[in-house]
């Protein structure tokens, strides 16, 4: 019996997450993927990230695809987590503008998340505004052999 009756579901039966739920889940992870255009082709790159205020912070090495393609570009950023044993999981997608940013004084948690990528002479920070955020959660597969 499902005691939660106010769960919103999409056409595929996935739970639709609120913006706050999305941000709470994203904060539990250290690696996401940024989708951008490079040379008129789509590219998806894994990145370490931290959320600072209302922005996602990523480090980019100078001269890389990420560096070249994130200068005031509209990007997608995605984070997910799935349990292969139960089938349960979630996925969150952010759309926003990526831009180089001055190195702000990062909170300790953010500095720790980005530390191995922060090279003072060869990298810079890229911030992605969180203009649109959406997420879905999928329930665990039934263990009794039923189809749900």
How much is the pTM? 0.82
pLDDT (tens digit, 9 = 90+) per residue, 75-133? 999 999 999 999 899 999 999 999 988 766 776 677 666 666 556 556 778 889 999 99
Q: Two tokens at 5?
A: 């009756």
**What class, spelled out in words, does domain 18-137 have in CATH?**
mainly beta
**What pLDDT, on a 0 to 100 scale, did the predictor assign at position 71?**
77
Q: Which long-range contacts (CB under 8 A, 24 or more apart) does 39-43 make?
A: 43/69
Q: Is 99 exposed, middle or buried (0-12, 13-18, 19+ CB in 10 A)?
A: middle
pLDDT (tens digit, 9 = 90+) per residue, 68-89? 777 788 999 999 999 999 989 9
How is the chain split into domains, by residue range? 18-137
Task: State the Cα–Cα distance between residues 146 and 148, nearest whole angstrom.
Answer: 6
């Amino acid at each position: 019996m499902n005691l939660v009756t106010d769960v919103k579901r999409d056409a595929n039966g996935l739970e639709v997450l609120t913006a706050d739920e999305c941000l709470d889940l994203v904060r539990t992870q250290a690696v996401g993927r940024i989708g951008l255009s490079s040379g008129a082709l789509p590219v998806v790159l894994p990145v370490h990230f931290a959320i600072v205020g209302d922005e996602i912070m990523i480090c980019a090495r100078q001269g890389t695809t990420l560096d070249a393609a994130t200068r005031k570009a509209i990007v997608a950023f995605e984070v997910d987590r799935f349990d292969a044993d139960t089938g349960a999981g979630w996925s969150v997608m952010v759309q926003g503008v990526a831009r180089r940013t001055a190195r702000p004084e990062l909170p300790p948690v953010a500095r720790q998340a980005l530390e191995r990528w922060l090279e003072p002479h060869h990298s810079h920070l890229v911030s992605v505004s969180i203009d649109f955020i959406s997420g879905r959660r999928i329930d665990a597969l039934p263990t009794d052999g039923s189809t749900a």
